[in-house]
């Protein structure tokens, strides 16, 4: 089955750290660029970070730059998000999503999403 | 940053009716706009990419149009499973942004 499964969410205190994982299965992970998108409970969607299939290109939203690090391990079919210096406003459901990639052409829309993992930052 | 403004916020319609959703960009995104459907408790699902291309498995009653700054998602005849929140997203430059969403609810 083609799917993405996120894990690693939970309750963390402000200033703390958390590492999210996204396990891919049923498709050739190394052929896809990947992205983390978050959604505040009851609110809309916010792009967080993206990484190309070979990790050559990496992008971050200003709101997380310097605090979050995206990475991937194509041998393990996995995507990661290391989140440091967490703030209350980082509380959200975090989704991983894939983008089909054609060489250096990456049309950054998302044709497959995981079910998400909830991150709650609270004292 | 490109701001995407969706309207209306809520659309109350009956099954079988036509739904017209709007997404306006604060600057041109050419045709680099996608639409997603999200139902409660579920992840978003890609409906339309690059303004007018239906994603795999999306029924023909869904269509997208527009270019530049004004885009429309049309559902020609609403089915019960179409009631959901719809978001637009551009890929014109960084940062990628999403619109605030339009909820299509049963009247």
Q: What's the rounded Cα separation, in Å, for the pair A51 and A68?
A: 13
* Statement: residue A38 has pLDDT above 80: yes
Q: What is the DSSP string of A15-83?
A: T--EEEEEEEESS-GGGEEEEEEEE-TTS-EEEEEEE-TTS--EEE-TTTTTTEEEEEEGGGTEEEEEE
Residue A118: band (very low, low, confident or very high) from pLDDT cuts 50, 70, 90: very high
pLDDT surpassing 90 at residue A22:
yes
**Share of residues in chain B with pLDDT > 90 (%):** 99
- Alpha carbon distances (Å) from A118 to A35, A96, A115, B48, B61: 16, 12, 10, 27, 34
Interface size, chain A vs chain B, as Cβ–Cβ contacts under 8 Å? 55
Tell me whether residues B44 and A45 touch, CB distance under 8 A.
yes
* Percentage of residues in chain A having pLDDT higher than 90: 90
For B48, residues 6+ apart whose C-beta sits below 8 A from its C-beta are B33, B34, B35, B54, B55, B58, B62, B63, B64, B73
Residues of A in contact with B103 (CB under 8 A): none
Model confidence at A42, in pLDDT bands (50, 70, 90)? confident
Residue A20: what pLDDT?
98
The reported pLDDT for the residue numbered B63 is: 98
Q: What pLDDT does B96 receive?
A: 97
Is residue A99 within 8 A of residue A107, CB to CB? The reply is: yes
Stretches in chain B below the pLDDT threshold 50? none
Mutation target for A interface from B43, B86, B93, B102: give the one with most A CBs within 10 A. B43
Of A110, A87, A121, give the one whose Cα is nearest residue A37.
Answer: A110
A115 touching chain B per CB within 8 A: yes
Mean residue pLDDT of chain A comes to: 96
Alpha carbon of A12: minimum distance to chain B alpha carbons (Å): 23
At A44, is the pLDDT very low, low, confident or very high (cuts 50, 70, 90)? confident
H or E stretch including B65?
strand B62-67
Q: How far apart are CA A59 and CA B87, in angstroms?
A: 22
Residues A114, B43: C-beta atoms closer than 8 Å: yes
Residue A43: predicted pLDDT: 77
Question: What percent of chain B clears pLDDT 70, i.e. is strictly above it?
Answer: 100
Q: Name the residue among A47, A62, A109 with its Cβ closest to that of B46.
A: A109
Return the DSSP state at B96: P
Distance CA B74, CA B72 (A): 6
Of residues B24, B19, B20, the one with CA closest to residue B6: B24
Is it true that the peptide bond before B8 is cis, omega within 30 degrees of 0?
A: yes
Q: What is the pLDDT of residue A32?
A: 96
Amino acid A41: pLDDT: 75
User: Does the structure show a pLDDT above 80 at A35?
Assistant: yes
Distance set, CA B103 to CA A47, B48, B80, B82 (Å): 20, 17, 14, 10
Tens-digit pLDDT profile for residues A54-112: 999 999 999 999 999 999 999 999 999 999 999 999 999 999 999 999 888 888 999 99
Residues 33-62 of A with CB under 8 A from B: 35, 44-47, 50, 59, 61-62
């Amino acid at each position: 089955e083609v799917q993405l499964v996120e894990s690693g969410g939970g309750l963390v205190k402000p200033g703390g750290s958390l590492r999210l994982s996204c396990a891919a299965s049923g498709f050739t992970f190394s052929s896809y660029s990947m992205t983390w998108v978050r959604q505040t409970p009851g609110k809309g969607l916010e792009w967080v970070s993206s990484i190309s299939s070979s990790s050559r290109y990496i992008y971050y939203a200003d709101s997380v730059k310097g605090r979050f690090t995206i990475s991937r391990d194509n041998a393990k079919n996995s995507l990661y998000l290391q989140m440091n210096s967490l703030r209350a406003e980082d509380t959200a459901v975090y989704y991983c999503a894939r983008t089909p990639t054609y060489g250096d052409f990456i049309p950054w829309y998302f044709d497959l999403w995981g079910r998400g993992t909830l991150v709650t930052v609270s004292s | 940053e490109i701001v995407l403004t969706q309207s209306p916020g809520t659309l109350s319609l009956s099954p079988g009716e036509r739904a017209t959703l709007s997404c306006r960009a604060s600057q041109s995104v050419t045709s680099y706009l996608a639409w997603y459907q999200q139902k409660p408790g579920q992840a978003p699902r890609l409906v339309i990419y690059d303004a007018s291309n239906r994603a795999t498995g999306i029924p023909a009653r869904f269509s997208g149009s527009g270019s530049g700054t004004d885009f429309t998602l049309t559902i020609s005849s609403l089915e019960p499973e179409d009631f959901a929140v719809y978001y637009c997203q551009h890929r014109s430059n960084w940062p990628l942004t999403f619109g605030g969403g339009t909820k299509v609810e049963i009247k």
